[in-house]
Amino acid sequence: MADGPQTPARYRWSRVAMVGLLLMLQLYFVASHRNVHVPQPSGPPPLRHKHSPQAAIKPLIDEFLDENSPLRHLFFPDIKSAIHPANGSHYYRPGHIWLDTQGNPIQAHGGGVLYDETSHTYYWYGEYRQVGVIGVGCYSSKDLWTWLNQGIVLSAQQINNETHKSNMLERPKVIYNDKTGKYVMWMHVDDVHYRKAAVGIAISDRPTGPFQYLCSKRPHGFDSRDMTIFKDDNGVAYIIYSSKMNTELHIGPLTEDYLDVQPNMRRTLVGQRREAPAVFKYQGTYYMITSACTGWAPNEAKVDAAESIMGPWETIGDPCIGGKEMFRLTTFLSQSTFVLPLLGLPGSYIFMADRWNPAELNDSRYVWLPLAIGGRSLESNSSGSQSPWPRVSIHWHKKWRLPLSWRL
């Protein structure tokens, strides 16, 4: 009801005061969220049971997903602060535009890195996006910071248009087969409605392609969405994929030529709804980082460990350290894609993740951060006792670089 002449003055003034109070609260909210810069890590994160993730995440996620948010530039800095190989600083800046040696933004989303022992070169493969995915891009580097564009090594229109850009080509990973001398690529292929839910397989004689697309299939007869492949020390390769509508993960070995799956398969993380698996190994123990299933919105990472890659797997907690709680609870506003071992630095890795930009996916950013293994875990296992596994730590830094002593 609108105010009329008969409304007492005290009520009119109380409403004015209430409006003023609401405006002050709104200004406070905006001001508090402008201070999103995250400090260098100063101590261990709180235990998982000490916080309520939903309450902490919601305001930040709302701003992150809103393409018209005035805070947008804090999540996706503009070209003026891009990582440029010409400056020679070798500093990683998570979330900033990353340029290749020609000055163009790197297009390798949802990717992984292969170290080629023959050429002593790193190759970074990922989704090359414009309006849609137009193929798999490849970049090469000797220092993991300066990247040369090797072009699109697998076109999205090969083989009956299975990977046409109107469909989905996601999370390509490449490994080398020592017996056949072939570079083998596995990827998630799907239709625009995510009903195909299959893997695609391609091969090449060279790490820079071109890759020949062979076929698509549902591994072990199950639907497959977010996936990765992992080559063990003995040369046996494995596929790990989200299945049964993302309610569980499946793990199984590939055939000797890496072109198909063997029949044995294990289900793990059943009922936990995890995706974006990134697997690595240290001192005989296997580790896997995953995310929850929340679409393009970031969420809390989780690490699981196992003595055998086929399991059983045990959860050892959130690895993110440093920054504000809301950043840790969103994996620093990113989603895992790969963990890259640093040659010559045992126990040291680079955690590779994507900061997805749902409003413009080709402008999604890369979040590379140092990952270390060691020290006493702060987490409790499923029985409530101290976890026996060493701590896995992903440290937040606004900018960082590899140790000066590190060389290929």
Residue 39 lies in a domain: no
Average pLDDT over residues 273-280: 98
Instruction: Give the 3-state secondary structure of residue 296.
Output: coil
Q: Which residue has the higher pLDDT, 168 or 316?
A: 316
Average pLDDT over residues 113-124: 96
Torsion of CA 199, 200, 204, 210, to 10 degrees: -140
pLDDT beyond 60 at 12: no
Residue 326 lies in a domain: yes
pLDDT beyond 70 at 21: no
Specify the pairing of strand 248-253 against strand 320-321. Answer: unpaired
Average pLDDT over residues 380-387: 56
The pLDDT of residue 157: 76
Closest to 277 in 3D by CA, of 254, 256, 320, 246 = 246
Number of domains into which the chain is organized: 1
* 306 phi, psi to nearest 5 deg: -155, 150
pLDDT beyond 50 at 234: yes
Per mean pLDDT, which range of 16-25, 269-278, 382-391 is the poorest?
A: 16-25
At 376, is the pLDDT very low, low, confident or very high (cuts 50, 70, 90)?
Answer: low
* Preceding amide of 210 cis, omega within 30: yes
Per mean pLDDT, which range of 41-50, 140-149, 206-215, 369-378 is the poorest?
A: 41-50
What sign has the CA pseudo-torsion 125, 252, 219, 266?
negative
Q: How far is CA 61 from CA 38, 97, 242, in A?
A: 16, 21, 24
Residue 402 lies in a domain: no
Per mean pLDDT, which range of 6-15, 157-166, 372-381 is the poorest?
A: 6-15
Query: What is the Cα–Cα distance from 309 to 283, expressed in whole angstroms?
Result: 13
pLDDT beyond 50 at 360: yes
Q: Which residue has the higher pLDDT, 265 or 59?
A: 265
Is residue 273 within 8 Å of residue 293, measured between CB atoms?
yes
Scan for tokens 């963990």, then name that residue: 339
Instruction: Give the 3-state secondary structure of residue 24.
Output: helix
pLDDT beyond 70 at 222: yes
The pLDDT of residue 406: 75
pLDDT tens digits, one per residue of 41-98: 333 333 333 344 455 566 889 999 999 999 999 999 999 999 999 998 999 999 999 9
The pLDDT of residue 103: 96
pLDDT tens digits, one per residue of 171-198: 999 999 999 999 999 999 998 888 999 9
Residue 32 lies in a domain: no
Q: In CATH, what number is assigned to the domain containing residue 295?
A: 2.115.10.20
The pLDDT of residue 55: 53
SS3 sequence, 207-243? CCCCCEEEEEECHHHCCCCCEEEEECCCCCEEEEEEE
Give residue 331's domain range: 75-395
Instruction: Give the 3-state secondary structure of residue 141.
Output: strand
> What whole-number percentage of the chain has pLDDT above 90?
70
Q: In what order do the strands lie in the sheet with 274-282?
A: 274-282, 285-292, 302-306, 314-317
At 273, is the pLDDT very low, low, confident or very high (cuts 50, 70, 90)?
Answer: very high
pLDDT tens digits, one per residue of 318-356: 999 998 899 999 999 999 999 999 988 888 999 999 999
The pLDDT of residue 57: 66
pLDDT beyond 90 at 33: no
Query: What is the Cα–Cα distance from 166 to 107, expressed in whole angstroms?
Result: 18
pLDDT beyond 80 at 36: no
For 209-232, give one letter per residue: b (16+ CB within 10 A) or e. Answer: bbbebbebeebbebbbbbbbbbbe
The token pair at 60 is 């930040």
The beta strands (E) that lie in 78-156 are given as 109-116, 121-129, 133-141, 148-155
pLDDT beyond 60 at 378: no
> What whole-number percentage of the chain has pLDDT above 70?
80
Is residue 206 within 8 Å of residue 226, measured between CB atoms?
no
The pLDDT of residue 283: 94
pLDDT tens digits, one per residue of 129-175: 987 778 999 999 999 999 999 999 999 876 455 555 557 899 999 99
Mean per-residue pLDDT of the chain: 85
